[in-house]
Structure formats: structure tokens, C-alpha cells
Structure 1
Amino acid sequence: MRRLLLTLPLMFVPLMAAGQTVGINQSNNPAWLQPSPFQAQRPMQGSLLPQSQSSTAAEVQNGDTASLLSLNPLAGGTVSSSVVQYGVTPNVTAQAGVTQRSWATQPRIIGSEVGATYYAGRYSLGVSVAQDQVPSAVPLPRVLPGAVTGVNGLPDFDSSTQVNARGRVALSGDSGLVLGASVGRIRLLPGNVMGLNTLDQKALTFGVDHGPITGSIVGRTMQPEPGVPSNYMDRRWNSIDLGVTWHLPWQGSLSFGAQNLWSSGNAVNTPAGPPEPDQSRTPYVQYHQDL
């Protein structure tokens, strides 16, 4: 299943290379996996629409309400994504996408997602299945002092699988409200500090977009897989993130916010790293420029 999710999007590559003619529907609904809703596009029935973009971890955290994994925004790096949309009917679009989170040092995090979106006037509703994994079975690097490049505060992240849902209500020509939810399971590398193999995760997000500005509040909870004996059987880690991104006219963007603005508690770090998911409050301001 994990390999299948990474392989499915590659099936669309021959169609992209064949030079398919793309029909564009200039709807105000945002494209699936599109952090800047004011640039939204979706294909007409029977047409393919490939899209690609590069952004920062902070932009994805603030604007991408489909995949609700969280990376430390101070760890830097870029997120490159390629998405292919296909117009199944005038109101239904199928999507397949691949993302790659990269830093100056290895390893990377590679993700894939397949799903569909239904559009009905001012409303849209999408569902998808996503999978993320680290190609190399080593802990994620510490890029800056105190900034572990972990997923959901977990430097020993190995992979995850989640089911996502996302709905949007258009309030006007360039404004809307977004509600997202995610349920999934995170797998950790063997021999990690916590001594756990898997964690269950649930997340909810509420977002607002108005022209080039997007903002979101994400609530997240994690707990060990039920029925598996461990020292953390009764533990649950909760947190809330807040972020805003302003997409500037010159292909730049400014993101600011706070990761773990509220959390259920902060673990005391050890020389080997946090013994529990890192829930320390992390305010940030990031500027990203596309060249």
C-alpha cells in the first residue's frame, strides 16, 4: 500500500509528456493542494491540468489544509509539489500529486496523494488518501540549534498514512472559508527514544482566504496505537498551530505565525533529543522568493 501511493501519480507522466490540451475553468474554488487560492485553476471535463510549485514549510503549514503533517518552520528547506488534475465531470475533478520536502542535508520526505473534489457552485468538498515517508532510515537532521526537522515534533519519523477531507465555502469572488480534517497513523524508526512503533493522529483545521492572504488554525492530537503496551499508553499530545501567509505581487510570500501556540505540555530535551514529541512554542517569520 505504501509503495502503491508513491507509484500512482507516476502513471500520469506519459499523458503529460504527450502534450494533452488543457481546458481551464476559471473558477474561484481553490485548486487541490494549492496554497495560494487566488491563483486557482481546475480542468474542464476530459482535460488534464498539470501544476507544479515550490514553497516553504511555513507556507504549506499555513495554506495546505489537505495534508496536515507539521514540520518545524524554523528548520528551513523547501517543499516542491507536482499535481495532475483530471476533469471527470463538470463538477468532479480527480487529482494525483507528489511532494518532496528538501533541506541542505539529507534525508528528504517524499509524499504522494490521490483523491477527488466535488464542486457545487460556492461549495467544494474533497477527499484524499496520502502517504509520506523518509527514503533513508535515519533520523531527520537538526538544521539549526533547537530546530529539529521532525514531523509533528518527531525527529524519528519514518512514514505516515492518512485520510483527508477538505471543504470550502466561497464568500465572494476571492474570499472563502476552509474546513479540513485528517485521520492517520504515523510510524517511527526502530530504536527511537520513545520506544514506540506507531502513533495515531487526528487533526482539524479552519482556514480563511482573502485574495493573496491565507490563514489557518490547526488543532492536532496524537496518541500511541491502542492495545500496544508501552510507557506512553495513557499519554496524549495535543497542540494548536496558527499561521498566516501573504502572497506578494512579485512572486514572493511572507509567512508568520506560531507552531504549538498552545500545547498539552512541553517535554524536557535530553542530549539525544526530545524524549516525547517536541511541543515547544515556536513563533516564526519567513520570506520566500520564487526566481
Structure 2
Amino acid sequence: LKISAIPPLIAEAILSDTGGVATLVGDPPNVMIAASTGFTFNSFIEHLTPLTVIAWIATMGYMRYYYRDWIETKPEHVEELLAEDEWAVVRDLRMMNRTLVALSLTIVTFSVHEIIHLELEISAIALGGAGLAIALSLPDLPEVVERVEWPALLFFAGLFIMVGGLEGVGHLTALASWIFDTFADDPLMLAVAVIWVSAIASAIVDNIPFAAAMIPVIHKLGELSEGDINTAPLFWALAMGCGFGGNATPIGSSANVMTVSIAERGGHAISTAEWIRVGLPVMMITCVVASIFMILFYDSLYVNP
């Protein structure tokens, strides 16, 4: 097509990060929060999906403005591309259909397990769905292993070790404690502060390890306040901040890291500066939207689902 592939790749990752805030399984920090608090799949949809839709629209609007020159670029060889059979890339239709069945059953189970009182953790349901997909499709394991993004996995391993060191010496806990000490007298402002600090920290150290460090601290705050502070809004704020903050940098979320890794393998290197020029304003916009949402609907978030 003779056009740059970088803008749609960055847009795909950023919109994925933004949309992932909407559901329990949309982003790893959400899964961690749910496992720690008991928040359900449906409660994430009820509390965060309306916000995410607004943030997603705002993100799309900004990215259309930022990439307006790229959008106006006339691609070449469009007729040849449209003439291609898109189904030709599907190498095994039976495997695809079986995998879609397993995925559909998993999502349905996520949605109804609370209603039917299914005593299973979300992680168990997800692993069960993955196991079902493998059992139904019987993939070629050597080929699967060969296509794993090992550089990205090694990057995550190194990043988590580094962040684990920061947590081990108490830096992340000290940061969280400072937030709570500063804003403990105003629970609403405390929740807004959690959004912004979580967003900034997630952009620097990745949202997964930061969420892991913050979750026990929020629980501790609830214990120390002896019930005076309801921690439910703080956990929703943590989900908002970690999800939206991951947009800012290429290491802010797993989707970003995978996008950069796959793009580089395809010959489209994405620099950190190029990502930040797009992602940082998106983080600011979505966090402003989240802050307004928190201020307007704090009472709705105040009750544990």
C-alpha cells in the first residue's frame, strides 16, 4: 500500500489498552483486582464499561486528529488488495471454528458464573477455556513454541524482576502510603489521586507489577481506617489508572510491548519517543475523563458490588 504501518499498530495497541478497562478479562490488572476483591465479571461491566466507552471515543477522536495527515494519504494497489481472498490466510478452518467455540463458552461462563453460583475463580475458568481450546484444536506444539514471542517474554521477566526489587526495598509501598497519608481526609480526592498516580507509575514500570504492589496497600488502608474508608472506589480507580496509564509508553502494558516486538520483527521499528508523542496525550485525556467520571459517580462506586 506504500503507507506507514506504524500509526495503525500504535492505534491498535492504545485502543486495546483503553477498551481493556471495560471488563474483568480486558486487562491483567483487572483480573488481579477481581481475584483480590471478589469483584465479578458483571460488576466490571456495570461500573467501568460506561466510562470506557466515553474514554474510547475521546481516544479515537484524538488519534484521528493526530494522524490526520496519515489518514489523508492515498494508499496504492488498493484494487489488488481488495481482490485478495481474506479467508486464504485461514490455514485450518476447523481449528478456527473449534477455538471460537471454546472462546465463546469461556466468555459465557465468565458472564453467568455468578448467576448460577458456580464456585470457580476467574483464573480457573480462563485456564479451563484454554485447555478446552487446546483439546479441541490439537495444535502442533513445536510450531506453537517456535512462534512464541520469546524476546517480549524475556523483557517482561527482566522488568518484573526490576520492579520486584523496587517493591522489595519498599519504594512502591512508600509511594502508595504517601498518597493515602496526603488524601486520607478526603476519600473522593484520594480516589482521583489513585487514578493519576497509578497512571503515571504504570507508564514507567508497567501496569501489572504496579497493580500487584498497590492491591495489598489498599486492603491495608481499609483495615487501618477501621471501616471509615470504603476501598471499593479505590480499586475501581486503580483499574482506571492502570489501564489508561498503560497507553503512555511502549512498556506501559503487555499489549504495547507485544506490538513493538511484533512490529520490529516485521521491519517496522517503533521508537519510544514516537510512541510517547501519541500515547502520553491519550493518557492525559483518558485520565481526565476518568477523574470527571469518579467525581460525578463516586456514590455509585462507593458500594461494594
Where on the TM-score scale, by shorter chain, does this alignment land: which range?
under 0.3
Give me the TM-score of the superposition, normalised by structure 2: 0.21
Give me the TM-score of the superposition, normalised by structure 1: 0.21
In our comparison, the structure showing a higher alpha carbon Rg is 2
